[in-house]
Structure 1
Amino acid sequence: MGQKVSRNDFEWVYTEEPHASRRKIILEKYPQIKKLFGHDPNFKWIAGAMVLTQILALFIVKDLSWPWLLLMAYCFGGILNHSLMLAVHEISHNLAFGHSRPMHNRILGFICNLPIGLPMSISFKKYHLEHHRYQGDEVIDTDIPTLLEARLFDTTFGKFMWVCLQPFFYIFRPLVINPKPPTRLEIINTIIQLAFNAAVVYFIGWKAMAYLLIGSILAMGLHPVAGHFISEHYMFAKGFETYSYYGPLNWITFNVGYHNEHHDFPAVPGSRLPEVKRIAKEFYETMPQHTSWTRVLYDFVMDPAVGPYARVKRRQRGLAS
């Protein structure tokens, strides 16, 4: 039986999320950071190459035995699909083509979504931008575990299972916390995705489709690249609700590890976030940071003081007492 964590509630605060105020302070001192705003012209080629690589991989995995397919999905396909999810993250901020060409961004999002297997590009944007604006809000921010999750998975074994099941919580939690009616673009996203999935099954086979879906699920759970889900906002040091990671896995995740920098400056593409840190280093080097996403997963499971409860939450607007 797992060890009980020492927390039995979230970390409730009544302050605004910290990034807007820090952004203002940093820009007053370093206005040159504004020159980093805008889209990355190389991004679309990198993301497109990743999609093409996954499609070509389907012709290799279709004849593999199931053990080799699972290994391939975990060690290769899942990593590529997770990177494509983070490409969708970049696209949600219009960092592929800029704010002046929103449909170009949405179409590229549809394309990057294809190997992932589940339609998520438009839905992710709908919820993710609220995560930025209302970080920690008890109703609006669907990145935070529900109270039921925290209560059910607050032992060592429970946290291990929670990490393994992360993809399902990410898929279904928004439908529980903050359900929204589907938009026209979400319906289009779903139709395109289902048509692609059907084409993969018809022309290449079920194993190829399984490779894509299994890879997506495995790489969102107990996988080194999935460590960023926990590293970003789970409270490993009291009083700090966002954490950065500056290690090598940033190379395949569009620098999502530069997470304080990203929340401070969501208009800066991932490729330029290291420059934000270089310019304003005294703001970022003094904050707690992670050195390993694998270690984050280990500490999350094994440390009694860290778990699903270890999140900063804010009362719903207008209800704070």
Structure 2
Amino acid sequence: MTPTHAAPAAATAGLDAERSVSSVSPQARRHLQMRKDALRAHPDLRALAGPDRRTALAVPLLLALHWGVAWAVSGSNLLVVFLAAFCIGQFIIHAAGALVHETAHRLIFRGDRSKLAFDLGLETILGSFSKQLTYQHEHLSSHHPFIGDYERDYEHEDLCAFKAREMLVHDRPRLQRVLTIATLFVHLLPFGFIISDEIFPRIYERVTGHTARDARRDIASSKPPIWQRRLFIAWSLGVNVLLLVAFGFYGWLYHNWALSIFLGKFGISNLGQSLSEHPGDDVETPTRSTYGWINRLLFNTGYHNEHHTFPNVAWTRLPDLAQAAPDVFSARADKSYLGYWWEHVKGDFKTSRRNPLQGQDQSARCPKLDAGAGTAAQAEA
């Protein structure tokens, strides 16, 4: 949902943190400097800032398309439902997720009430059970001000999960390949990403003897208020009941299967976009953009370098930003979303991706299970 915005009131602290140069990561500081340099060379860029309310029209269009597919498959079979979810549904969900990104930054509506109404409209498409609110807060208070910082940026892969795969690749490569294939299979199932998160970390812990989750990591992002979470959970429950009543089991299944695929390993555009955006340790060029036809479907989320440098510019004006300052925005991703997704899938067989804390002592972060239990007991005491 990268995943990942009009800032909720509690999350505006993330924007304030971003403006405080002393409190942000080196990569975030680089974007602040890029913004200053761009405004110095092109002062007219200031005119591009601000929300675009016309974006609200996209919600009924996406909802009609999504529920239209649900109606179309309601009298079909499991294979047709799966193909519709894989080939159409996940990309509709991604488009709605791109709008979550816009509303988190308050680039559609500034006011709290109008933003809440818009977000509930998105929840009618997504049925996220309030997870879109979690994303909005984490994106603003964790990702933007602390981009590239493993401890604070929620987009970083968990170190212990990485280390568990790395250990198996080195010691038991055949077993790692089997687990990768099993993970991919589970992620094709309805609610597969939830099942996977419950099963595979425990398997990795059993076979490696080390914890597969970094319990010491705390990104300390802001959180949505309880009343808002409850409202969105209730709204999602209502949406699921309505889907079931209006389109039957297969129509309901289509929606939830599409959401599951989007959030899992087979979320081709979602995972591919996330992998394409940030190299990880490049302070000089912390963010890359993807240009081309995909932005017509995903509300210009490919203009990611432009967005991180000018997060107050709505998606409709990001191409104007890139065109007006080509000397500033020249960092392009070297592959398509599909290319990054395929590289990621192959990398899971041999753990070729960069270690999140390369060169640092990681034994304390991912201890043996007995040592981890002792550490946890000491922490409680």
Give the structure-2-normalised TM-score: 0.69
Structure 2 residue 135 is the aligned partner of structure 1 residue 110 = no
| Contact 1:243 1:288 (8 Å CA) reproduced | yes
Unaligned runs of 5+ in 1: 1-12, 313-321
Q: Please give the secondary structure, in 1, of the residue aligned with 2:152.
A: coil
| Contact 1:88 1:113 (8 Å CA) reproduced | no
The one of 222, 246, 253 equivalent to 1:203 is: 246
Structure 2 residue 312 is the aligned partner of structure 1 residue 293 = no
| Contact 2:100 2:132 (8 Å CA) reproduced | yes
Q: Alpha-carbon deviations, 1:65-124, whole Å to 9, x = none?
A: 000100001111111111111111111111112x2x132122211111222222223222
Q: Which residue of 1 aligns with 2:233?
A: 190
Unaligned runs of 5+ in 2: 1-23, 170-175, 199-212, 359-381
Q: Alpha-carbon deviations, 1:245-291, whole Å to 9, x = none?
A: 11211111111111110101111111211111111101222x34234
Post-superposition shift, 1:25? 1.3
Flag the 1:181–1:109 CA change in 2: closer, same or farther, 3 A.
closer
Q: Please give the secondary structure, in 1, of the residue aligned with 2:81.
A: helix
Structure 2 residue 348 is the aligned partner of structure 1 residue 309 = no
Q: Which residue of 2 aligns with 1:75?
A: 87
Decide which structure has the larger Cα Rg and report it.
2
Post-superposition shift, 1:162? 8.0
Provide the alpha-carbon RMSD of the alignment.
Answer: 3.3
Post-superposition shift, 1:305? 8.6
| Contact 2:290 2:302 (8 Å CA) reproduced | yes
| Contact 1:153 1:159 (8 Å CA) reproduced | no
Flag the 1:19–1:153 CA change in 2: closer, same or farther, 3 A.
farther
Amino acid paired to 1:19: H
The one of 91, 104, 112 equivalent to 1:92 is: 104
User: Map of 1:1-321 to 2, 5 A cutoff?
Assistant: 15=26, 17=28, 18-97=30-109, 99=110, 101-119=111-129, 120-130=131-141, 131-154=143-166, 157=177, 161=183, 177-178=218-219, 183=225, 184-220=227-263, 221-226=265-270, 227-235=272-280, 240-285=285-330, 287-302=331-346, 307=353, 309=355
Distance 1:129 1:163 in 2: 33
- Aligned-pair identity in percent equals 21
| Contact 2:103 2:115 (8 Å CA) reproduced | yes
Q: Which has the higher helix share?
A: 2
Distance 2:165 2:74 in 1: 37
Post-superposition shift, 1:52? 2.1
| Contact 2:150 2:357 (8 Å CA) reproduced | no
Distance 2:163 2:308 in 1: 29
Flag the 1:247–1:235 CA change in 2: closer, same or farther, 3 A.
farther
Post-superposition shift, 1:45? 0.6
| Contact 1:250 1:256 (8 Å CA) reproduced | yes
Q: Alpha-carbon deviations, 1:127-181, whole Å to 9, x = none?
A: 1102112223333321111111221344595778589869659x99999744766
Distance 2:354 2:237 in 1: 33
Post-superposition shift, 1:302? 4.0
Q: How many residues are paired up? A: 296
